[in-house]
A and B are shown apart, each in its own frame.
Chain A
Amino acid sequence: SQELEQSPQSLIVQEGKNLTINCTSSKTLYGLYWYKQKYGEGLIFLMMLQKGGEEKSHEKITAKLDEKKQQSSLHITASQPSHAGIYLCGADRLSGGGADGLTFGKGTHLIIQP
C-alpha cells in the first residue's frame, strides 16, 4: 500500500514569514491532494495535482508536484494567523479509478506566532 511521509510534523512560524511543507511517497503519485484542517473541524480541500511538474496557486498558497511524481510541496507566502491548522496530503490509493479513496500522510501542525 502507498505510504505518505509528511515533514515537518510540526512547524512554528512567525507571522509574515514563508514556510514549506513536504509530502513524499514511496510510489508514483497518480493524484495528490492537499487539505487543511482547523483543530476540531473537518477537512477543507485546497488543491489537487496530477501531472509531473504541475504547480497550482490559490491566494498565498502554492503546491507543486515534482517531475517524478513522488514528492509534493506546499508553500505559504507571508503567513497569516488564518493559515494555522493541520495540513494533510492525500493520494489516490490505487492508480486511476478513484473508487477506493485516498491514503493520507499524518499531517503537519502549523502554528503562526504573532
Chain B
Amino acid sequence: NAGVTQTPKFRVLKTGQSMTLLCAQDMNHEYMYWYRQDPGMGLRLIHYSVGEGTTAKGEVPDGYNVSRLKKQNFLLGLESAAPSQTSVYFCASRLGTGELFFGEGSRLTVL
C-alpha cells in the first residue's frame, strides 16, 4: 500500500515563483490536510478538505491555495512564493475519527 504520497519531495524556488505540491492517497479517505512544520513552531494546519470539491482554511492559510477536484488528490499551491514559506510541508488524510496518516513531507526552500 502506498498510503499518502507527496510530490515533489524537494524543491527550490525563487521569490515570486509559483508551484504546486501534490498529495495523493489510496485509502479512500474523505478528509485531507496540508500542514507546515517549522523549527520551534511545530505542525500548523494550512488548509483542509472534508470531501471532493470542498476546501476550508486552517490556522495559517495566507499565501496558499488548495483544490480537491478528485477524492484521492489534494493540491497545495503557492502563487507567489516568499522566503517565509520556506518549510517542510506534510499532507495527511483521515477516514473520519482516528489517526491521521501522513506523507513523508516535501521540503521547500524559497530564495
Contacts and interface: CB of A to CB of B under 8 A. Distances in A.
How extensive is the interface on chain A, given as a class?
20 to 34
Given A41-B105, A88-B43, A107-B42, A102 B100 contact: yes
Contacts of A103: 45, 59
Contacts of A43: 90, 92, 100, 102
Which of B45, B97, B103, B105 has the most A CB atoms < 10 Å from its CB? Answer: B97
A93 B105 CA distance: 22
A48 B94 contact: no
Interface string A84-114: 0000101011001111111111110000000
B48 A101 contact: yes
Nearest to A41: B104
Given A1-B59, A33-B99, A45-B101, A98 B42 contact: no
B56 A100 contact: yes
Given A1-B59, A42-B90, A42-B105, A101 B40 contact: no
Nearest to B45: A101
B33 interface: yes
Given A97-B97, A100-B45, 15 more contacts: A31-B97, A41-B104, A45-B99, A88-B42, A90-B43, A92-B97, A96-B97, A98-B97, A98-B98, A99-B31, A99-B48, A100-B50, A101-B92, A103-B45, A107-B42
Interface of A: 1, 31, 33, 35, 40-43, 45, 48, 88, 90, 92-93, 96-107
